Amino acid sequence: MTDYAPPMRDIRFVLSDVVDLDNVLSGSAFDSADSETVYAVLEEAGRFIAEVIAPVNVEGDTTGAKWLDGEVRTPESFRAAYDQYVESGFGAAPFDPEYGGGGLPWVFAVVIQEMMTSACMSLALCPLLTQGAIDAISHHGTPEQRSMYLPKMLTGEWSGTMNLTEPQAGSDVGALTSKAEPVGDGSYRISGQKIYITYGEHDLTENIIHLVLARTPGSPPGTKGISMFLVPKYLVNEDGSLGERNDVSCVSIEHKLGIHGSPTCVLAFGDNDGAIGWLVGDEGAGMRNMFTMMNNARLSVGLQGLALAERAYQQSLAYAGERIQGTAVGSEPGTKSPIIDHADVRRLLMTQRSWIDAMRCLIYENAAALDRVLSDPENASTHQEWADLLIPLSKSLCTDLGNELTSMALQVHGGMGFVEETGVAQHYRDIRIAAIYEGTNGIQAADLVGRKLPMRGGDVVRESLDEIDRMAKKLTEVDSMQVFSTNLIDAANATRRATDWLLANGAQDPNHALAGSSPYLRMLATTICGGLMAKAAIAGNKALDSSVEEGFHKAKVVSAKFFGEQILPTATAFESAATAGAGDLFALTAEQLA
């Protein structure tokens, strides 16, 4: 297995030349740092992650988390690495300085998350969920809650979780039955069981802050009757010290396909006296408030697809250069060649590399849009619409590709990829969950056509396609990019037609929109990635004449060209599936499907 090398130059290129970090930082919201400071901190973070976090990845997989009598033990190496992560302060960097944060933009946090996840996805899940909980408490908590809980959550001394799913209520959160009974002093006693709770119990932090969805007495059915409660593992005294253990217990942890080091817990609240919790936000607004955390987590889960694809690509690239097999075309007769010289292996490697470049553009653009909501308040609504549109695309496209690209990395290894000792199979197993949790990718597609596509009558999507047309026109000025430009225009036009069809026919029968939602998501996301890769191609080409890194920028141009000529045409092919309607999907009865 190869060591993880943070792709710092690739990261800096996307930040500077695609999402324009200088522009993000230009607003008063982030006046505490300039881009060079951000890059310097990221370089140091990359060094730390490669040296401290990446080495624990294999033990996380082979040893895993253990549950015994309600207690969860993570691998020993996790505990040592996490302690150093807390000391580093990197987790606090993107949060409010009032509570100990560094005031840096969210795109900075996303880069840290990418590198952490590439290094060890199982360990990275703990701070990932904590950051989502911080975001939810920051937006919806009382001043007292923020002051009491955020400082130690920012450092990572305390971790956070989100508790939605129940045995009888999977993706249908409105069916949950957990109860919250008012005590009379402002607190509530929470009772119920939650499942699939990532890091719901562990030994990395001294306290765990659970955000729990539950129903108050007399609340209406469905999601309108759900409220959010803050339920700590240990109650916190007024002076900030830890008090007695709350009535929260871990019943078991799941035995999983991958991410073995991350405990996925079944939690029981209130089996004895009732777990003490406090309302976060308004009563009945729990689902809306939890979406703050869920949207944060969905972007972070999307980057897991990018991160594991990057890690697997690095390993498959190294293997392709080392593995000697066959004689490549053009080699001396009788000599043996590294498999990297064979055309199909090159196809696998180029597909991985090009999609990784495109995914990084998409994920960072999504994070930068969230930052611009703060840094450019005059146009905040426009930036928020763009961010909202990109969330389901980032989550779904990138996690689907995480599965596809780690599979390609395994394929490069041939039979050795199917052998655990090479290590590449771990990446394939670890990423499989990402298309499932934080809302399955089918739910992301339904969200896209049901909520995001109709924004301003479809004009948010149409305006993005108009911008892609303008980018395609600029692309014609770059030598060798004429085919890419034509394909980009074709993809945008096909996506427009599919957009109009879904808006018209989905209004008549929601199943028509839902039937085309997944192919439409892939179509729209691929087209938007095409526009971002066109921007990367233009920037890379411009730098060729004056750059001391000519080889790097040439590689960026070639990667973009490969995307535009060999990947982008798939977007146009999805038009038929996106506009087919629901007829074929429901033409057979359930019995006939057997």
What does each C-alpha distance from 390 to 365, 421, 526 come to in angstroms? 9, 38, 12
- Specify the amino acid at residue 206: E
Q: Express each pLDDT in 49-67 by its tens digit.
A: 999 999 999 999 999 999 9
- Give the separation between CA 496 and CA 509, rounded to whole angstroms: 20
Q: How confident is the model at residue 367 (pLDDT cuts 50, 70, 90)?
A: very high
The reported pLDDT for the residue numbered 547 is 65
- Specify the amino acid at residue 5: A
Q: pLDDT confidence of 172, banded at 50, 70, 90?
A: confident
**Would you give the DSSP letter of residue 338?**
B
Residues belonging to the active site: 438
List, for residues 74-123, the tens digit of each pLDDT value. 999 999 999 999 999 999 999 999 999 999 999 999 999 999 999 999 99
pLDDT tens across 422-434, in order?
999 999 999 999 9
Q: What is the CA radius of gyration of the chain?
A: 24
Exposure string of 16-36, with b = 16+ CB inside 10 Å and e = fewer, is ebbbbbeebbbbebbeebebe
Give yes or no for residue 48 having a pLDDT over 70: yes
pLDDT over 90, % of the chain = 92
Same domain, 148 and 250: yes
Count Cα atoms within 13 angstroms, Cβ side, for 425: 12
Do 399 and 480 fall within a single domain? no
Alpha helices in 18-160 (DSSP H): 21-25, 35-48, 57-62, 76-88, 106-119, 121-140, 143-155
Asked if residue 373 lies in contact with residue 367, where contact means CB atoms within 8 angstroms, the answer is no
Residue 367 lies inside a defined structural domain of this protein: yes
Residue 588, pLDDT above cutoff 80:
yes
Residues 436 and 256: beta-carbon distance below 8 Å: no
Q: How far apart are CA 492 and CA 586, in angstroms?
A: 29
Question: Over the stretch 471-516, which tens digit does the pLDDT of each residue have?
Answer: 999 999 998 999 999 999 999 999 999 999 999 999 999 999 999 9
Whether 548 shows a pLDDT value over 90: the answer reads no
CATH of the domain at 404: 1.20.140.10
The span from the CA of 520 to the CA of 506, in Å, is: 13
Q: What gap in Å lies between CA 592 and CA 396, rounded to an integer?
A: 30
| pLDDT band of 290, cuts 50, 70, 90 | confident
Q: Is residue 562 part of a domain?
A: yes
- Grouping H, G, I as helix, E, B as strand and the rest as coil, residue 397 is helix
Q: What is the pLDDT of residues 452-470, one digit of tens each?
A: 999 999 999 999 999 999 9
pLDDT at 371: 96
DSSP secondary structure, 459-475, as one string = HHHHHHHHHHHHHHHHH
For residue 285, what pLDDT is reported? 93
| Residues 152 and 196 both lie in one domain | yes
Domain assignment of residue 23, yes or no: no
Say whether pLDDT at 293 is over 80: no
pLDDT digits (tens, 9 = 90+) for 333-345: 989 999 999 999 9
Pairing of strands 158-163, 207-215: parallel
List the one residue out of 576, 581, 567, 479 whose CA is nearest residue 526. 567
CA 399 to CA 329: how far, in whole Å?
35
Token readout for 219 is 């609340």
* In a domain? residue 15: no
Q: State the pLDDT at residue 418.
A: 97
Q: Percent of the chain having pLDDT more than 70?
A: 99
Whole-model pTM: value is: 0.96
pLDDT of 267: 97
Rounded CA-CA distance 104/590 in Å is 52
Dihedral sign from CA coordinates of 142, 370, 435, 131? negative
Q: Are 472 and 478 in contact (CB under 8 A)?
A: no
Question: Do 382 and 242 share a structural domain?
Answer: no
* Whether residue 170 has pLDDT greater than 80: no
In a shared domain, residues 52 and 146: yes
User: Does residue 14 lie within any of the structural domains?
Assistant: no
What is the bridge-based pairing of β-strands 187-198 and 207-215?
Answer: unpaired
Which domain-ending residue is among 411, 439, 467? 439
Measured between alpha carbons, how far is 500 from 506 in angstroms, rounded to an integer?
10
25 domain-assigned: no
Same domain, 265 and 385: no
Domain shared by 279 and 385, yes or no: no
Proportion of the chain in helix, strand, coil states, percent, rounded to 5: 60, 10, 25
Give the end of a domain, one of 409, 439, 469. Answer: 439
Q: What is the domain extent for residue 377?
A: 295-328+337-439
Q: Which amino acid is located at 470 in the chain?
A: R
444 within a domain of the structure (yes/no): no
CB neighbours of 582 closer than 8 A, spacing ≥ 6? 509, 511, 512, 514, 515
Mean pLDDT of 172-190: 93
Per-residue pLDDT at 2 exceeds 80: no
| Domain end marker among 412, 439, 466 | 439
166 contacts 193 by C-beta, under 8 angstroms = yes
* CA terminus-to-terminus distance, the chain: 43
Residue 7 lies inside a defined structural domain of this protein: no
- Picking from 115, 194, 197, 123, the residue whose alpha carbon sits closest to that of residue 160 is 197
- In the structure encoding, which two tokens stand for residue 179, read together? 């109860």
CA dist 287 to 16, 136, 171, 198, 224, Å?
A: 36, 11, 13, 19, 8
Residue 1 in this model has a pLDDT that exceeds 80: no
Q: CA separation (Å) from 274 to 73, 182, 183, 363, 589?
A: 25, 11, 10, 41, 46
Whole-number Å distance between alpha carbons of 259 and 122:
5
Q: How many domains does the chain have?
A: 3
User: What confidence score (pLDDT) does residue 223 get?
Assistant: 87
Q: CA 253, CA 250: separation in Å to the nearest integer? A: 8
Distances in Å between the Cα of 476 and the Cα atoms of 480, 484, 491, 563 are: 9, 9, 16, 16
Judged by average pLDDT, the poorest of 524-528, 530-534, 551-555 is 551-555
Whether 254 and 303 map to the same domain: the answer is no
Q: Are residues 300 and 277 in the same domain?
A: no
Assess whether 407 and 464 both reside in one domain.
no
234 in the same domain as 99? yes
Tell me: do 37 and 185 sit in the same domain. yes
Cα–Cα distance, 14 to 364 (Å, whole number): 8
